[in-house]
Structure 1
Amino acid sequence: GEEAMLAAQPGPVSGVVLTFTVLVTSIALVAGLAWASARLLGLPVGTVRAVIAGLLGFAAAVGITQMLQPVQTAGRVAAFIIAALGVPLIVAMLFIVVAEALVPTGTGPQPVQVIRGARRAFARSRRYSQISRIAVRHGLGPYLRGRRQLSADASGGRAALALSLRRALEDGGVTFTKLGQLLSTRRDLLPEEFISELARLQDRAEPARWEQVEGVITESLGVPTGQVFADLGPEPAAAASIAQVYQAQLRHDAASAIEVAVKVQRPGIRATVEQDLDIVLRLAAKLESRTRWARTYGLVTLAQAFAAAMREELDFRVEARNMAVMAASWPGQQRAVGGSVSVVLPAVHEQLSSERVLVIDWLDGVSLRKAGQLIDDRGLDRADLARGLLRSMVYQLTESGVFHADPHPGNIMLLTDGRLALLDFGSVGRLDAQLRSGLQNLLLALGRGDSEALRDALLDLVTYPDELDEQQLQRALGQFMAVHLVGGAAPSAEMFTDLFRLGSRFELAIPAEIGTVLRALATLEGTLTQLDPEFDIAAEARQYAAAHVTEQLSPATVQKTTADELLALLPMLRRLPRRVDRITGALEQGRLSVNVRLFADERDRRVITGLTHLFLLTLLGAATGIGAILLVGAPGGPKIAPTVSLFQLTGYILFIAAGVLVLRVLFAVFSNR
């Protein structure tokens, strides 16, 4: 007897086989439930959600099997199979529908994103805590939590808050200093107290160690620095938070040695900036969800634009390309400047430049931010300097199409020979021919003081709602010009900012390129005011407009314009007689008709098809559910078990089918696709 019992017990090998079989069967059931639930819902389902749904369905199947195990009889096999397979399938589909309702596909994190997000969260936790402590230390905590609003403060309170904000940004490091400098140009967003305070932010930093900097240059060049540069010493000519600038000579023969400026990205700065940008974007999203002032200013959009600009600034190849593009159109600007002070830009040595190193010609001079006393000592004409800078900028906007987007005093240098030079081309705007033409008309209308022409020029540049009141817009533009351009008064620093706000008030969708232009002009106004407080921008605009119109009406220009227009019209003129003949022939014979096709657009057809599909599924699911209820409650019918009839079994099957149809409709409704 003992030998028989031992023989009946499974051995080690058979136990492993049994375990393996159970494991494979379980995996197959989970995979089958995941696949079936996704297929029955009719739309793509994420892998993670499908697997979780399969596991939940498998757990339901195990539970139901355990509950129905004691009552398995020959007559109840069919009901057992339906319950053991149908209910788990409904459970799996129900989970996917609920998950889609709570977290629509595309908004929830994917597995790789979760892992990467966890790493980033761990890496930025200390930095985030540090930034929070800085904000609280400077009294900004209530504003970050939404307990106080910017608009609630009086002028004195705003000034104190602006001072606290500037100090907090300075303590925050490079990214937050750059953010403050960007905000200092946004007169359309911030009160004057903030603009004045943030304009005092200085981008200064202790120089990085020469050994690290030399390593960056060597890695960029691929050869030792001594083979390319002479007199490249360890002391930088300037040190900022992102880059340091060194003066050197290119190694040529002594007679043709070229003085260059070597701009080197600080070692390790990219990782720091990326971490801070992640914090800035998260803070902007949190503030916009919690505070009214952040929603009013569109803080998330502003943060995204700032992040894109910062990432471009970290790639010196972008700046090198911008300088090359501007240099290609630069000779024409000397004609636009005319007899004013020339504006130049340094030449870039693209073959020596890379993502982290930029080599340009060396320019002797000082930035306009520090040149005030020097201008007076040398007896330079401030109005002439301002005129040359303004005309150069107008040429870039209206004729070249490539313009410096951040002309603040720190990016403009007064050279030893009295010329001006533009620096830092990390932020450059571009305008196509249509936008340049519209901008020319806008500036000409401003120069003439014509509110009707200004309205037409503005509407050519923007997208406006159908219900726009053009007469009201023209009256508002007339008031704008009365404030800034009438009576010979010098325009205030808010001229272009007020134009920006006026467009927002009438819900004019200003293209991003034009928004960049208006911000650049607002920044230029502050620079011109610092250069010459008495400079009359309106008078200069009228003078430029008159000169531009005179040039456009010259015989040579008119002849060229006429020839260009005729060449563009010639193909259409050649086809016009044949088309007119066909139309008149159809009219004579009564064959002219107009066809209107309903749902000609594929997108319209997809919408109608989808709605029809959902309606039919809903109707079919409801009918199936009603039929199931009637069959389950119907008396009589063939018995397949002592307590279960064929009608009831069919009703249970229809219940499962109705559940599948209803869940499919719900999934399609909740899905964001």
Structure 2
Amino acid sequence: MDFLGAQLYLWSVLLTVLLFGLFVRRVMGVRLGLLRTFVAALIGGAAGPALLGALLPPPSPGADLLTLVLYTVLMAAVALVVAMFALAVIEMLIPDGSLPGPVTAARSLRGRMRRSGRYVRLLRIVVRHGLVRFLRGRSHRAVRTQEERHALARSLRRALEDGGVTFVKLGQQLSTRRDLLPPEITAELARLQDDAAQLEWGVVEQAIESELGQPWREVFASVDPVPVAAASIAQVHAATTPDGDAVVVKVQRPGIAEQVARDVEILRHLATTLTARAAWAADLGLADLVEGFATALTEELDFRIERDNLQAVAAGLAESGAEDVVTATVWQNLCTRRLLVMGRLEGVPLGEASGLLTALGASRRQHLASELLRVVLDQVTRQGVFHVDLHPGNLLVRSDGTLGMLDLGSVGRLGSQSRSGVARLLAALGTGDSVAATDALLEVVERPDRVNERVLEQELGEILLRFAPPVATGTASTATHPTPAAPANIAGAVAALFRLLARHRLGIPPQLAAAFRAIATLEGTLDLICPGFDLVGGAREASRARLQADLDPAQLRRRAESELVTALPVLRRLPRRLDRIADAAEHGRLQVNARLLAHPEDRRFVTRLWHQALLTILAATAGLMATVLYLVAPGPMVTDEVGLFHVIATALLAGSVILVLRLLVVFFRREEG
């Protein structure tokens, strides 16, 4: 055979096998991968004729045409059955979807090659800091004592610092999770610094002009080449607009988005692996933590989101009437994905402003703390957009005695229903009403089918008595007699509340958890502004003031008008509908219709069950009939060697096997179509 003939023969065989494989997949009745179908077709095409030849010798070349046709049909049927059996076995051993397809596998291989060097560097960091023992195993006895936890926390902090920007950001977020991590670890992770080497002015200048699409001198009157701050994600420079406004220009570091994306992908893989291998990772919910962190970090890399956050928070501050808490204004037309231009807030970071705060006096500091608490509560319970991490580094103390909010790259957002539930929950916590607190809590969490509300109410009441005891009459002011232990109550209450939710299998939505953590994080900030500030008492005063404002006659009238406008169409139709119901009941025509299986998913479920039951009956009937026909064979002779009952029994047996294999494939598939 010449080369062209060999090529034509090869392509004809491949085409025949491919068409046969598509036919096999169609007969199976389920969508399966093309590669496994092709392999099954090859197995059926090779093993089918050999199996038939072992059971029934092939006719001689001189046999009559009908015998040859029957044998060919029988051989095709046997090949089909063998191919379907092979496909069922492959599906049982390697379910569809458990292995990536060729294109996905090729892309994954390229990704693994790109990440392999980074994996090696991270593994060296883990080994160098002695964290290898935590990568596997179900439990560890090396963290039982406080000294061991301190040692682990130091090693973890140093490893995260060596890991780079993504891991530093992860550690900073974990430092706020006092509900999940021991205090020794959160305290150590709070020391992580998001510092980085300064970029050369030429690199920054090129980045600014690339984002603006024009030379920076046509937009700004001046830009200071020396940065105000240099962080791992961005670098900030002071600038002046042609109108003389003092602004700051936040420029994203070139290539940082690609680096973060690669590290986040590594984090996801590590979190999935650790969750499967280590008990502490599963208990911590590491995979969910990493997923939430990845979402927040992706938002932080898009400066347009921070621009919108700044505008939303500024609108919320104006709505709250806050005069002592401000945020930066935004030059919207100059902001891009990697460039943010906002007004310059002059001031001293709260952590370094002890001298300035002392000069303000005790009463002013008490007022600032109360005002900041009121603003945050308004953000959480009324406006729905709140600062998720208002630690001392994100607040400036200005020379005029006001506070400036910084770092709004990632904020929390609550819908109207969640805001209403949180407001009722905080009000109940402030009054110590465990019944109202339980009702409000059950409205905002994801509850299972069964909840022991009595036990939940009792345990929640114990948390209220422990961390937020009722206000005793005749007590002195907190400004006069500070209570240094009070700031720890909120963090303890939030941790106890999260443990309570976990015990009762109540899922807390991520944004709602962020709101509770934001309030818990705020306690340390308020204590720096006014040492001994009673956050619980301040929240009670804010809730009381908000309640008084809501009970104002003008506010009540506006709310009643709003509710009336919403309910008026329903009220207008209500008398006519009641009259129809009464008339139908009087004349015996009142009926209640309930549609069974009204949901499409329910109908599809019942249909699938019916189809599988019908296939089972047909397969069993066909197999039984084939057995009976084989027993009474041969019947009328079709040829000299083949009887009619043999042909019918073989067809019934093939049909029975096909139906059984279809059922097996559906049974062993991970998901039914």
TM-score, with normalisation over the residues of structure 2?
Answer: 0.91
Q: Deviations over 1:147-193 (max 9, x none)?
A: 64379622221121111111111111111111111110111111111
Q: CA deviation at 1:386?
A: 2.0
Contact 1:369 1:410 in 2 (8 A): yes
Partner residue of 1:407?
Answer: 390
In 1, distance between residues paired with 2:577 and 2:36? 60
In 2, distance between residues paired with 1:72 and 1:524? 92
Q: CA RMSD in A?
A: 2.5
Matched, 1:364 2:346: yes
Q: 1:18 to 1:424 in 2, by over 3 A?
A: same
Contact 1:204 1:239 in 2 (8 A): yes
Q: Deviations over 1:391-426 (max 9, x none)?
A: 110111122221112212222222222211111112
Partner residue of 2:551?
Answer: 553
What pairs up with 1:375-454 in 2 under 5 angstroms?
Answer: 375-376=357-358, 379=361, 381-454=364-437
Contact 1:204 1:241 in 2 (8 A): yes
Partner residue of 1:194?
Answer: 185
Contact 2:48 2:82 in 1 (8 A): no
Contact 1:189 1:297 in 2 (8 A): yes
Q: CA deviation at 1:88?
A: 2.9
Q: 1:168 to 1:119 in 2, by over 3 A?
A: same
Partner residue of 2:302?
Answer: 315
What pairs up with 1:165-564 in 2 under 5 angstroms?
Answer: 165-250=156-241, 252=242, 256-334=243-321, 337=322, 342-376=324-358, 379=361, 381-486=364-469, 490=486, 492=489, 493-564=491-562
What pairs up with 1:61-76 in 2 under 5 angstroms?
Answer: 72-73=60-61, 74=63
Matched, 1:45 2:26: no
In 1, distance between residues paired with 2:346 and 2:506? 44
In 2, distance between residues paired with 1:197 and 1:417? 34
In 1, distance between residues paired with 2:449 and 2:40? 48
In 1, distance between residues paired with 2:338 and 2:49? 61
Letter in 1 for 2:533: F
Letter in 2 for 1:333: S
Letter in 1 for 2:200: R
- Tell me, what secondary structure is at the counterpart of 2:248? strand
In 2, distance between residues paired with 1:282 and 1:567? 53
Contact 1:64 1:83 in 2 (8 A): no
Q: CA deviation at 1:668?
A: 1.9
1:585 is matched with which residue: 579, 583, 605? 583
In 2, distance between residues paired with 1:241 and 1:375? 30
Q: Deviations over 1:555-592 (max 9, x none)?
A: 21122122222222211111111111111111111111
1:101 is matched with which residue: 89, 92, 97? 92
**Bigger mean CA deviation after superposition, 520-529 or 52-61:** 52-61
Q: 1:226 to 1:104 in 2, by over 3 A?
A: farther
Q: CA deviation at 1:487?
A: 5.7
Q: CA deviation at 1:115?
A: 1.5
Q: Deviations over 1:430-473 (max 9, x none)?
A: 22222222222122212222222212222222232343222222
- Tell me, what secondary structure is at the counterpart of 1:457? helix
Letter in 2 for 1:385: L
In 2, distance between residues paired with 1:280 and 1:127? 11
Letter in 1 for 2:507: A
**Bigger mean CA deviation after superposition, 521-530 or 261-270:** 521-530
Provide the aligned length of Structure 1 versus Structure 2: 651
In 1, distance between residues paired with 2:349 and 2:641? 96
In 2, distance between residues paired with 1:155 and 1:423? 35
Contact 1:348 1:361 in 2 (8 A): yes
Partner residue of 1:625?
Answer: 623
In 2, distance between residues paired with 1:343 and 1:292? 44
Partner residue of 1:4?
Answer: none
- Tell me, what secondary structure is at the counterpart of 1:283? helix
Q: CA deviation at 1:662?
A: 1.1
Q: Deviations over 1:247-275 (max 9, x none)?
A: 1112x2xxx31111111111111121111
Letter in 2 for 1:87: V
- Tell me, what secondary structure is at the counterpart of 2:223? coil
Contact 1:217 1:357 in 2 (8 A): yes
Q: CA deviation at 1:289?
A: 0.6
Q: 1:669 to 1:538 in 2, by over 3 A?
A: same
**Bigger mean CA deviation after superposition, 241-250 or 206-215:** 206-215
In 1, distance between residues paired with 2:595 and 2:312? 47
Q: Deviations over 1:515-556 (max 9, x none)?
A: 221121122223223433401011111211221121112121
- Tell me, what secondary structure is at the counterpart of 1:403? strand
What pairs up with 1:644-655 in 2 under 5 angstroms?
Answer: 644-655=642-653
Q: CA deviation at 1:237?
A: 1.0
Q: CA deviation at 1:62?
A: 7.3
In 2, distance between residues paired with 1:17 and 1:170? 64
**Bigger mean CA deviation after superposition, 41-50 or 532-541:** 41-50
Contact 1:218 1:225 in 2 (8 A): yes
Contact 1:146 1:287 in 2 (8 A): no
Matched, 1:155 2:138: no
Partner residue of 1:7?
Answer: none
Percentage identity across aligned positions?
Answer: 43
Partner residue of 1:5?
Answer: none
TM-score, with normalisation over the residues of structure 1?
Answer: 0.91
Q: CA deviation at 1:46?
A: 2.9
Contact 1:632 1:649 in 2 (8 A): no
Contact 2:622 2:653 in 1 (8 A): yes
Q: 1:590 to 1:124 in 2, by over 3 A?
A: same
Q: CA deviation at 1:358?
A: 0.9
Letter in 1 for 2:394: N
**Bigger mean CA deviation after superposition, 599-608 or 507-516:** 507-516
Q: 1:57 to 1:413 in 2, by over 3 A?
A: farther
Partner residue of 2:133?
Answer: 142
Letter in 1 for 2:605: V
Partner residue of 2:478?
Answer: none
In 2, distance between residues paired with 1:574 and 1:214? 66
In 1, distance between residues paired with 2:595 and 2:524? 56
In 2, distance between residues paired with 1:151 and 1:558? 60
In 2, distance between residues paired with 1:409 and 1:97? 62
In 2, distance between residues paired with 1:151 and 1:669? 46
- Tell me, what secondary structure is at the counterpart of 1:494? helix
In 2, distance between residues paired with 1:150 and 1:245? 45
Letter in 1 for 2:165: V
In 2, distance between residues paired with 1:36 and 1:557? 71
Partner residue of 1:595?
Answer: 593
Q: 1:70 to 1:400 in 2, by over 3 A?
A: closer
Letter in 2 for 1:394: L
